[in-house]
Homo-oligomer: A and B are copies of this chain.
């Protein structure tokens, strides 16, 4: 899917990754266009002056900003930053474009690359210095509209993860420490990787409130003729989503791709035993691919003559293709094909006449099974705790910890400080919207103060 590049933290995305990215984009772009988002493209570059306008924002991003200082052999008059995100690139123009309530809502989206020159462990997909994303930036007259959209978008992100990538996620709100730098509040979808015992942020939908509006002077004349300040959101998901999917479903044999995002859903492999009629077998394979393609199923033929069927099986298993169809002399004679599932290895012989119907049923089954299996594994990692000792035990056990919390920033800082270590500190992942019952009198596991909510805690990527 990727190739390491000679600049640390940068990776080459190969077709197997890009085709997944394109499938996700197709879905998401169509959905946001229904919400009246319009495509924009803002520059890669931002001046130092503008980048620094929102104080919290620049504090959050400054250490990771890459600076262009030269062109050809000449020094630039002033260094120019490469966007780590585009709030400061866009908002001076929002200020210019928005005059009246009739200019609202303003809804921008762009698909682009961003650069965050991180020094912590670069990891393909999960933490790379350049990555691809979409960033939506929207402006409303009222907080109610902004609040509503934050959740509409979060639901689309949940669908990307659960319906497409078959990765179970929790919707929730980020803590004050973990929210977007400069924003009012951040919602996210959070996944969890059982093997490593770490949470991972899947995508974020931020309500920026009026903080950026103040800094960038984005106001409008309301219907009464008074000047008002706008309410803003920004939201993004990145190529990281592909990495979360890989970690969730991968096994000893390699990738396991959910059918909805698999560039090839069905690989057809001829199995020409000795003395078989290879022409007839190849013909049956081509016919199967043709029939499936006509039905809108992404099928392909591996007719390479210099590789054995067994070698091909391994290769396509490694690439994670959901279904393999084998056609040999016996299948030809019985007018059937053998179908093998990647997710659980089960084999079934089906009559060629039922091909499309059976393949559809199997693909739907795999898609559902992957999500169910991942959900069961994730759920098995969730531990509800109530005391500090239980918290530490669960953390050492690499669990996804659901803890009653006082929701105070100082307490999260304190927990981080007390859990520092080689594996990284514990932190909040989110306060899930789906809250278990919190009996009155429940106290915070860390501070002993009255608990406000149940929050997910753990180590994270």
Contact = CB atoms under 8 A, between A and B. Distances in A.
Interface in A70-110: 70-73, 79-80, 82, 92-93, 96-97, 102
A334 interface: no
A72 B62 contact: yes
Contact of A43 (B12, B43, B80): B12
Given A44-B115, A72-B63, A39 B11 contact: no
B92 A6 contact: yes
Nearest to A41: B13
B80 A7 contact: yes
Interface residues of A, number: 53
A113 B19 CA distance: 19
A117 B47 contact: no
Contact of A39 (B18, B93, B117): B18
Contacts of A79: 70
So how many copies of this chain end up in the complex?
2
A349 interface: no
A93 B12 contact: yes
A6 B50 contact: yes
A73 B117 CA distance: 11
Contacts of A63: 72-73
B43 A15 contact: no
A234 B319 CA distance: 28
A13 B93 CA distance: 12
A79 to B, nearest CB: 7
9 contacts: A10-B44, A12-B40, A13-B41, A22-B39, A64-B71, A66-B70, A67-B70, A72-B117, A102-B304
Given A7-B47, A72-B117, 10 more contacts: A3-B96, A6-B47, A6-B92, A12-B43, A62-B72, A63-B73, A64-B71, A67-B68, A67-B71, A68-B68
